[in-house]
């Protein structure tokens, strides 16, 4: 297996640990674990075989089944030695592998997590984080999906990496907001302080961007477009209060965001509605009805609420 495929497999496994396909993938990975040669074990096995052959010559006049029983016993002992060597090697390799913890948030829920290096991450609603019980000396890597506000402990010699949705955000010590849900075709980073670079693929090409403090950078994976704009104070204040910013978002994307924020269902009556784009911000804890009525004003949208479902026509 080449290095590139190993990295792809690792990323996939970290983000799909609960998937039924993960069992087969782990089996395949374990089958590739090498068992180092044990010279002392081979020497002892040869010595046991020599003793057996001497015994066989001395007991040549005994019945064949007696010798067969001795051979079976020795083979069982040899197999046990080899199995012990393999198990000890596997245990050693597993002991060097960090243990990963998965944290998730439901619709309308947020929570904070303190990482092994003392950094703190806040997960917004419908988000997922995988992190190890310890970091290595080369890098501090986590896997994420959704929206995360990060306050990363500074360490220039050991960068912090957030991997998810086909992108890698590299940090040396900073405060920033990272956003990339599975239903989004983009990744968005809002940098408050410090230094961040974004590495991803757009239109099949590698892309690396440096982000400046006070800037929001949004990369569209499919179109390959990059947009930059100034960061407002309220934009990343979702840890303290509910804030919603719809910057050039389609009505379908807004419906998904309302589901996550309010744990309600929003149904769009016609396909044509899905592609309508909006610019709006809501920072005063508005309700779903308030938000939808504001968006629909002047656009001819009709909002109907029934059985905890909002219908837009």
Confidence tier at 313 by pLDDT (50, 70, 90) = confident
Pairing of the two strands 265-268 and 309-312: parallel
Q: Span 116-138, mean pLDDT?
A: 94
The pLDDT value given to residue 177: 95
The pLDDT value given to residue 3: 46
Q: How far is CA 286 from CA 241, 279, 291, 294, in A?
A: 11, 16, 6, 10
- Which of 174-188, 215-229, 298-312 has the least mean pLDDT? 298-312
In the predicted structure, residue 64 carries a pLDDT above the cut 60 = no
In whole angstroms, what is the distance from residue 75 CA to residue 48 CA? Answer: 10
In the predicted structure, residue 132 carries a pLDDT above the cut 90 = yes
The secondary structure of 114-148, three-state, reads: ECCCCCEEEECCCCEEEEECCCCCCCEEEEEEEEE
Measured between its terminal Cα atoms, the distance across the chain in Å is 52
Confidence tier at 1 by pLDDT (50, 70, 90) = very low
Confidence tier at 63 by pLDDT (50, 70, 90) = very low
In whole angstroms, what is the distance from residue 160 CA to residue 226 CA? Answer: 23
Q: Span 133-137, mean pLDDT?
A: 92
In the predicted structure, residue 13 carries a pLDDT above the cut 70 = no
The pLDDT value given to residue 227: 92
Pairing of the two strands 167-180 and 160-164: antiparallel
pTM flag (> 0.75): no
Q: Which domains does the chain have, with CATH numbers?
A: 3-95 (no CATH), 102-236 (2.60.120.1440), 244-312 (3.55.50.30)
Please answer whether residues 147 and 109 qualify as being in contact, where contact means their C-beta atoms are separated by less than 8 angstroms: no
């Amino acid at each position: 297996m080449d290095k590139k495929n190993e990295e792809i497999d690792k990323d996939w496994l970290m983000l799909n640990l609960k998937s039924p396909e993960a069992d087969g993938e782990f089996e395949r990975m374990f089958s590739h674990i090498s068992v180092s040669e044990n010279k002392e074990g081979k020497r002892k096995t040869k010595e046991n075989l020599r003793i057996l052959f001497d015994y066989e010559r001395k007991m040549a006049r005994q019945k064949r089944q007696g010798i067969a029983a001795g051979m079976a016993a020795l083979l069982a002992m040899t197999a046990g030695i080899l199995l012990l060597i393999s198990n000890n090697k596997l245990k050693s390799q597993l002991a060097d592998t960090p243990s990963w913890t998965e944290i998730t948030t439901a619709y309308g829920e947020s929570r904070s997590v303190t990482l092994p290096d003392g950094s703190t991450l806040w997960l917004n609603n419908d988000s997922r984080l995988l992190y190890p019980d310890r970091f290595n000396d080369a890098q501090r890597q986590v896997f994420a999906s959704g929206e995360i506000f990060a306050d990363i402990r500074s360490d220039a010699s050991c960068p912090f990496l957030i991997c998810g949705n086909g992108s890698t955000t590299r940090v040396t010590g900073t405060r920033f907001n990272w956003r990339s849900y599975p239903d989004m075709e983009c990744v968005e980073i809002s940098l408050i302080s410090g230094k961040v670079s974004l590495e991803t693929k757009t239109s099949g090409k590698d892309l690396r961007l440096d982000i400046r403090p006070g800037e929001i950078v949004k990369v569209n994976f499919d179109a390959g477009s990059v947009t930059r704009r100034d960061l407002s104070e309220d934009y990343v204040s979702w840890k303290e209060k509910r804030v919603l910013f719809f910057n050039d978002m389609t009505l379908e994307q807004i419906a998904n965001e309302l589901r996550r924020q309010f744990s309600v269902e929003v149904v769009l009556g016609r396909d044509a509605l899905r592609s309508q784009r909006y610019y709006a911000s809501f920072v005063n804890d508005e309700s779903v009805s308030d938000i939808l009525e504001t968006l629909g004003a002047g656009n001819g949208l009709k909002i109907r609420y029934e059985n905890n479902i909002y219908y837009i026509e």
